[in-house]
Amino acid sequence: MGLTPKLLLVVVFLLPGQRANVQGQIVMNTTTPSTTGTKVPSLAQSSTTQTPITTSAAPFASDDNQPLITAVTAQDSPSTGVAEASGVSTPPLRPIPGGSGDSNETTPSISLPTGPTSSTTGQNGTTQAAESTTAGTTTSPKCSDIKVVSGDYTYIDNMATRTLELSGLNNGLDNIKITGTPELNVTKSSMSNTSYIFENLRICEIYNISLTDFQCSPQHYIIPQIWNVPPDPNIFTLNKTENSTFVTFMWDIGNDDENCNLSYKYMCRNEGHSFNWDTPLSQDEVKGFNPNSTYSCDATVLHANEIIKTMKENVLTDFGMPDDVMGLRCIPRASDDQMIAFEWSYPKNSSRGIDGYIVECRDKKGGASRNIPGEVVPLLEERNTANFSCYIGEAYTEDTVSVQAFKMSRYKNDSRIGGSPVLLKCRTNSSRPDLVRNVKPFLETSNKVKITCNQPNKIKGPKTEYILHFDGKSYNKGKCDFHIKDLSYLREYSYELIFSNGDFRSNPYRGSITTKYNEKALIGFLAFLIIVTSIALIIVLFKIYKLQKRSSSDSDELCELVPRDDEKQLLSVEPISGDHLLETHRRKMADEARLFLAEFQSIPRVFSKLPIKDARESYNQSKNRYVDILPYDENRVELSLISGEQGSDYINASFINGFKEHQKYIAAQGPKDETTNDFWRMIWEQKSTIIVMVTRCEEGNRVKCAQYWPTLETGTLTFGNITVVIKEEKKCPDYIIRKLQISNKNEKTPERDITHIQFISWPDHGVPDDPYLLLKLRRRVTAFSNFFSGPIVVHCSAGVGRTGTYISIDAMMEGLDSENRVDVYGFVVSLRRQRCLMVQVEAQYILIHHALVEYCLFGDTEISVPELAISLTNLKKKDPSSDPSTLEAEFQRLPTYKNWRPQNVGNKSENKDKNWSPHVVPYEFNRVGIRQDDDYSTENAEDSDDSTDDEHDYEDSTKYINASFINGYWSPKAIIAAQGPLKNTLSDFWLMIFQRKVKCIVMLTSCTEENQGSCTKYWGDEKQTYDDIEVAVKDVSKSQSYTVRLFEVRHAKRKECRKIHHYQYENWNPQELPKDPDGLLTMIQNIKQKFPHNTTQEEGKLDKHSPILIHCRDGAQQTGTVCALVNLLQCAEAEGAVDVFHTVKSLRKERPGFVTTFEDYQFIYDTLAMVYPAQNGQLKKNSTQADHVEVVSETGMEQQKRASLNLEPTQDNGHPEDKESATSANGPVDTGPKEIELKIE
């Protein structure tokens, strides 16, 4: 029948008392199963074990390797026969019911002839049963002649089929009965009378099958079969992932049944190395490999310990970890105290090879890296050493540098295999220390002086020594505590106090102190003087008393005759709806804001009927900063009384009602040194959690407010019973957020968290030019508010002007959101009834209206960085599809600011040929001028870059160039936006760069010599001279998307030589946007790292900085987009939020032609979303940001200008003409014109 023997099933029956171990095999065949069959009734499944049975030492009596099946009589033990198939042991062969082995079977018994039996032992030691026959009895077929052969499994739809062949039968299959569990589908083969076909066998199922022969002599018996059906080998596929020391093998096993007893075996070898790995997992990391080595592996799948499939795989492991770098050492930098430099050598074992180095610099606390973590230093083939520098920004500061070699992974793109980092501590050079602080000279006696001071903020050196020069003598001490005695009486002494750090000395602090008179000599004279003065004083007081008594009676009569009524001077001003707010504002601003002025002047400064007695008590007067700004008695904040202290319940602060909420605010004066304890007592007792400070501590050399919080250096300050701890300080250009924690030592309540928000961009005189700053401040305050907070404490210096302005904007915006109307006049009147002089000047009153118009027109367009990707998706949606998207509607609301400032110089006839485009001409207020005087001072060149509309002298003394100062995120005039130089402006271009001390040029276009491309080339391969400026290219390096050049620039009349870095981004065609902004972003990041901003030295003061020059062809198209990206990326890093709309709106006011198309506007959004992708509301980006530069920017002193808002509909041919969407997700509905123009006259 074409059977191919593979395995033999050996079934052995033993006589009573005998045991044998038999290991069986199955002989498979490939008989094609029948397509029809009948169900076989199932039997109760017998208990089986999967432990393999060892073969007996006695050999089988078989010459042809066919199974020997031995029958047993009814007297045989039913437990002595054993068979095994597919690695699973089977129950013993047992007699059918009716024998002596079992009387409980339900199968009908069959009578068999009985007679004496004997057993014989064959030559091979196998016990065989011999049947004795009696005379006259017919002989039945011998059981030993029956052979069982099992065929291969075949698979269809995850079900198996198998053929079972029986031979040695006398009458074929007629006398065979089949039972089994689970239920079987068995048919007789149509091709053979001795074959069964078992169909629909489930994968990994164990089948117990019994075949009963009723004709076998001497007695019929049961032939058991146990099949553990294996999975189909063809479903197994193998994948692998190589790593350095392990390989992940992954078997795809299709629809694997959970009951399958699968295991896996791997044998891998190469020259001199081999190992095995067994695992029950289909996916496992096989370990034991050597890096960068080739192996040949056999991967095997086993089912019930039987091999199903074996595959051969060749493995090449990934590179291993490089060795440590050698000789890492610090390099001294003699001329630089802001940076550390270090160098190292190639790793010792160079045979492994490396691709570069990863360098980090971390501060002594192990905080964030000062450089970008993972800064890659390329490997230079011709050198076996490398070096790197980190900008620390502070002298005598220790940082830990880390250098590790890396090798690029063979299999993972852009993945580096780093070695162990080698660490080294390096320190910047020492430098001149800061001035000593808080110098306090005072007289211990009339002729004995004591001088103390605090240590400088920054020592910048290894030692601490104080040097005092006093009256020609010098005193040195390690502690600032000097005592000088035996001085002359009534004499002024000058002194100098210097701090030394061992290497440098600070600038001297100079002061003077005057000794007193000899007190003993004065006693007699003073006694006489006191007596005389007392007599005179008594006389004067008596006369004053009489005069007051007479005048008071007269004034009482006058008060009765002429009573004062503050209410009569008030006007009747109707509330303004949001729909008419712009129109009303424009009407009231006409004629130099005459209507606003009339409204403001009609409001009483103080409501005289409200009593102010407590603030005027003698013991409270010293607590008031200004004698005329006092709280009313009825709503002043009362502190808890302190026993024995008169006036201990008083503080200059008033409860203020909000738009709807009672006592939502506390308006307070800025604390004085003697009232800081009371201020913190008020915060604790009122349970306030937010303090809004709308002033700086000092403005215009005047103290506006005492500093009532600790710095990060001091950490903790105590004010009476209140302890204040600073936890965090976040600095932004316009505000500083501090996280404070306070506790009361007299109470057991837990500490409380306080958020302190200080607005630092209010100018010394006037009001902020851009009301957006106050709208952003309100958003920050609102973000920290919660239902359980106490009143919001708002203060400036006096607690009325700026304080009232902020409270009015906050309350009126709440009214605009809830009722779509505002009553600014009525609310300011109510403020004055609660605290005098609230909203102190007319400019503040107009600013409130201006802020509300700004909000009503443009809405809130700020988006937090984690929500940027989702918000952008929603902004791009169109509903219906024919309408503009929300993003398009937002772009159409942007004012164009056409001709909003004079452009006189650029439009002169002699300067028109210096402009690329007549539409991009710089405004006068921020135009960059070039001084024509060759004897200018390089020291004050930085200070002379301002220009105004009316500076005719300045216009005459400077040459014109098409360039504008652009405000950066951290500081004003941080960027120069310029057009690409023309042939006739090359010398002016370089002179501007030299005069303005530019250190970095960003070029966003290509250039040609013929002046026909996007820009005239303003450098050469050799040294070039442009009038007095010499330019030489010293180095050129190229990346995939941009080129970096190092220029060396000299002035012919100066000895100074400057190095200028030139970045040219060439993947930007003026006709289309970059398809992939990755290169542009990388360039911006590298520039920021190369030229970091200086941090603040003092509150509100900036270090001088060099502007970055950015140019394209006309200085507007690409330049405006990059300026917006630079500012927005810095804002996202500092504040965690971006406002593309306001950023572009502000840039449009600084130079014409900035971001004029919707495509540019959307490109900015898309680029930001690519930098900050989000998933499930969390930032997906995991790269550490570059070093966080914190600079507090404050506007300098400016004369307050009265502004008028003139908004007129305009039309731009480059913009869509579609009607704006009626609704906006980013703010109030704009029902005005499609496009507005903002003018300040």
CB atoms near residue 310 (< 10 Å): 13
Q: In this structure, what token pair is assigned to residue 738?
A: 């501090």
Transcribe 1170-1212 into DSSP letters.
Answer: HHS-EETTEE---SPPPP------------------EEEE---
Contact 358, 404 (CB under 8 A): yes
- DSSP code for 215: S
The vertex-550 CA angle with 547 and 555, nearest 5°, equals 115
The one-letter code for the residue type at 237 is T
Contact 723, 745 (CB under 8 A): yes
Contact 1204, 1240 (CB under 8 A): yes
Strands 975-979, 398-408: pairing kind? unpaired
Sign of dihedral through CA atoms 769, 770, 776, 781?
positive
Contact 285, 247 (CB under 8 A): yes
Query: What contacts 241, CB < 8 A, 6 or more positions away?
Result: 247, 248, 250, 411
Contact 1169, 872 (CB under 8 A): yes
Helix locations, 387-431, DSSP H: none
Kindly name the residue from 143, 260, 426, 796 that is annotated as catalytic.
796
CA distance 1002 to 666: 50
1015 given a catalytic annotation: no
HEC profile of 653-705 = EEEECCCCCCCCEEEECCCCHHHHHHHHHHHHHHCCCEEEECCCCEECCEECC
Q: Which of 848, 841, 828 is nearest to 603 (CA)?
A: 828
Strands 422-427, 385-391: pairing kind? unpaired
Kindly name the residue from 143, 426, 1112, 1131 that is annotated as catalytic.
1112
CA distance 303 to 289: 27
1112 given a catalytic annotation: yes
Transcribe 522-542 into DSSP letters.
Answer: HHHHHHHHHHHHHHHHHHHHH
B/e letters for 205-225, b = 16+ CB within 10 Å, e = fewer, are ebbbbbbbbbbbbbbbbbbbb
CA distance 101 to 219: 13
Q: In this structure, what token pair is assigned to residue 154?
A: 């075949």
Task: Map tokens 């079987």 to a residue.
Answer: 184
Q: Which of 100, 131, 96 is nearest to 115 (CA)?
A: 131
- DSSP code for 1101: B
CA distances from 745 to 23, 589, 721, 822, 1007 (A): 86, 54, 6, 45, 71
CA distances from 120 to 14, 55, 92, 614 (A): 11, 21, 21, 130
- Give backbone dihedrals phi and psi of 1099, rounded to 5 degrees, phi first: -60, 120
CA distance 326 to 554: 98
- Give backbone dihedrals phi and psi of 277, rounded to 5 degrees, phi first: -145, 120
Strands 792-795, 665-668: pairing kind? parallel
CA distances from 1093 to 375, 875, 1130 (A): 19, 34, 11
Q: In this structure, what token pair is assigned to residue 1185?
A: 């940001």
- Which active-site residues does the annotation give? 796, 1112
